[in-house]
């Protein structure tokens, strides 16, 4: 079954085609970064508009990449949530309109299930059960994955996500948007021990996260100071250390609590080098292993949506929206619906 995947939950417009046997046949991602950067964050209305402009040309492009015509698509999967509502509606409407026109089933996919299955797009992926650390701009979550569709949230962010913490503190350091990668780069030149910021909720048991206090602590520390480049680098390093140490400690706790030894990392913050290094060292020391998907499958993409949707569509999930009419229709093809007696509607008059 060849599945067209559509992702439009936030500021990436993405389209992919996945087939069970050969795997990924096409995979295009358009980042809307340039559109949002002047505003210092994602502007929902601009995101929706750019999805509208980009989706159809990208779908045509993916069909060309895969060497397929539209009639070769057997099903469509789109991100149904969670995300920006206007942005989601664009992808959902395009997916359902195409499903209607092409007379193929359409299924709505949970964006985070996409992230959880993404490692399976490559060979050598860990099999469930495992613990997943989801760290994107919008989510920080530890999830026990015991199988496909069997997810238990072990802990999650009560306020800002880790990515948001990077982005908001980067803004305080005047690093532009998105701040995560810029802050990480600057932190590389920072000196250890010049600043120290709180590790939120580490002193308490449990697996939830809270990063808004860190942002406040950074704001208070920086207020009224005019730091030079070295000073800002020192602060960036301390911020990165606080976020990474919090994530590593809670991930270890999650492995310990579940008795599992495998951790997968998903989401954009998974690109952070300090997180990767510290997490790998800490989990290995505890006798476990960490799996990182390739960067393009770690950040938002449609391959993961097509992949999760494929499993659901093959199992019979999904709706066919086509309006069916037939110019020729032999009467003796008909059978009675289950549970309808031979008397059928005639018994009504008796
Ligand atoms: O999963 P993702 O690509 O997309 C959305 O959430 O939409 O995650 C983006 C987040 C942003 O907050 C960005 O600042 C952060 O991931 N990020 C990083 C790094 N690269 C991306 N944070 C820290 N260090 C990085 N190297
Ligand atoms: Zn995501």
Instruction: Report pLDDT for 176.
Output: 83
- The strand pair at 75-81 and 2-7 is best described as parallel
For residue 184, the ligand 1 atom closest to its alpha carbon is 24
CB 213 within 8 A of CB 198: yes
Distances (CA, A) of 156 to 115, 130, 143, 253: 15, 17, 9, 13
Separation of CA 301 and ligand 2 centre (Å)? 8
Residue 294: how many other CB atoms lie within 10 Å: 11
> Which residue's C-alpha comes closest to atom 7 of ligand 1?
137
Residue with the nearest Cα to atom 22 of ligand 1? 180
Distance CA 197, CA 20 (A): 48
Helix ranges, 28-130 (H): 33-36, 44-66, 85-102, 111-117
- Atom of ligand 1 minimally distant from the CA of 10: 7
Cis-peptide into 129, omega within 30 deg: yes
- Smallest Cα–Cα separation from 247: which of 138, 158, 135? 135
**Cis omega (within 30 of 0) for bond into 82:** yes
DSSP string computed for 141-207: EEEEEEETTEEEEEEEBSSS-HHHHHHHHHHHTT--SSHHHHHHHHHTTPPTTS-----TTSSSSSS
Q: For residue 350, what pLDDT is reported?
A: 61
d(CA 88, CA 102): 21
Nearest CA, atom 23, ligand 1: 180
The Cα 228–Cα 11 span in angstroms is 33
Task: From first to last of the 350 residues of the chain, give the pLDDT tens digit.
Answer: 999 999 999 999 999 999 998 999 999 999 999 999 899 889 999 999 999 999 999 999 999 999 999 999 999 999 999 999 999 999 999 999 999 999 999 999 999 999 999 999 999 999 999 999 999 888 999 999 999 999 999 999 999 999 999 999 999 999 988 899 999 999 999 999 999 999 978 888 899 999 999 999 999 999 989 899 999 999 999 999 999 999 999 999 999 999 999 999 999 899 899 999 999 999 999 999 999 999 899 999 999 999 999 999 999 999 998 778 889 999 999 999 999 999 998 987 66
Do 288 and 280 contact (CB within 8 A), yes or no?
A: no
Residue whose Cα lies nearest atom 24 of ligand 1: it is: 272
Q: Name the burial class of residue 289, with classes exposed (0-12), middle (13-18) and buried (19+) by CB atoms within 10 angstroms of its CB.
A: middle
Q: Which residues contact 52 (CB under 8 A, 6 or more apart)?
A: 90
Tokens describing residue 292: 């990182």
CA of 296 to the centre of ligand 2 (A): 11
Q: Is 94 left (phi over 0), alpha (psi -120 to 50) or beta?
A: alpha
| Structure tokens that stand for 320 in this block | 């066919």
- Give residue for tokens 């989706």: 55
- Cβ contacts of residue 11 below 8 Å, gap of 6+? 31, 32, 33, 35, 36, 42, 47, 87
Residues flanking ligand 1, CB < 6 Å: 10, 136-138, 163, 166-167, 178-181, 184, 267-269, 271-272, 299-300
């Amino acid at each position: 079954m060849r599945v067209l995947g559509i992702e439009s939950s936030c500021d990436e417009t993405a389209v992919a085609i996945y087939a069970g046997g050969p795997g990924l046949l096409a995979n295009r991602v358009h980042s809307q970064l340039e559109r949002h950067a002047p505003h210092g964050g994602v502007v929902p209305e601009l995101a929706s508009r750019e999805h509208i402009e980009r989706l159809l040309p990208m779908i045509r492009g993916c069909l060309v990449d895969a060497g397929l015509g539209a009639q070769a698509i057997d099903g469509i999967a789109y991100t149904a949530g969670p995300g920006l509502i206007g942005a989601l509606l664009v992808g959902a409407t395009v997916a359902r309109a195409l499903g209607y026109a092409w007379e193929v089933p359409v299924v709505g996919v949970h964006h985070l299930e996409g992230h959880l299955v993404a490692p399976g797009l490559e060979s050598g992926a860990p099999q469930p059960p495992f613990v997943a650390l989801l760290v994107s701009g919008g989510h920080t979550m530890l999830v026990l994955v015991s199988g496909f569709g069997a997810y238990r949230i072990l802990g999650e962010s009560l306020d800002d996500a880790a990515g948001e913490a990077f982005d908001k503190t980067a803004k305080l350091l005047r690093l532009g948007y998105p701040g995560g990668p810029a802050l990480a780069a600057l932190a590389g030149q920072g000196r250890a021990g010049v600043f120290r910021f709180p590790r939120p909720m580490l002193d308490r048991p449990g697996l939830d996260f809270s990063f808004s206090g860190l942002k406040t602590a950074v704001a208070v520390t920086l207020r009224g100071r005019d730091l030079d480049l070295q000073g800002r680098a020192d602060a960036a390093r301390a911020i990165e250390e606080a976020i990474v140490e919090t994530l590593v400690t809670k991930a270890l706790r999650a492995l310990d609590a579940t008795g599992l030894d495998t951790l997968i990392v998903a989401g954009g913050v998974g690109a952070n080098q300090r997180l990767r290094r510290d997490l790998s060292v800490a989990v290995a020391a505890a006798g476990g292993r960490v799996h990182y998907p390739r960067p393009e499958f770690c950040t938002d993409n449609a391959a993961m949506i097509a992949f999760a949707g494929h499993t659901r569509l093959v199992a019979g999930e999904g709706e066919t929206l086509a309006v069916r009419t037939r110019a020729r229709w032999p009467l003796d093809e008909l059978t009675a619906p289950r549970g309808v007696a031979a008397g059928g509607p005639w018994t009504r008059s008796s």
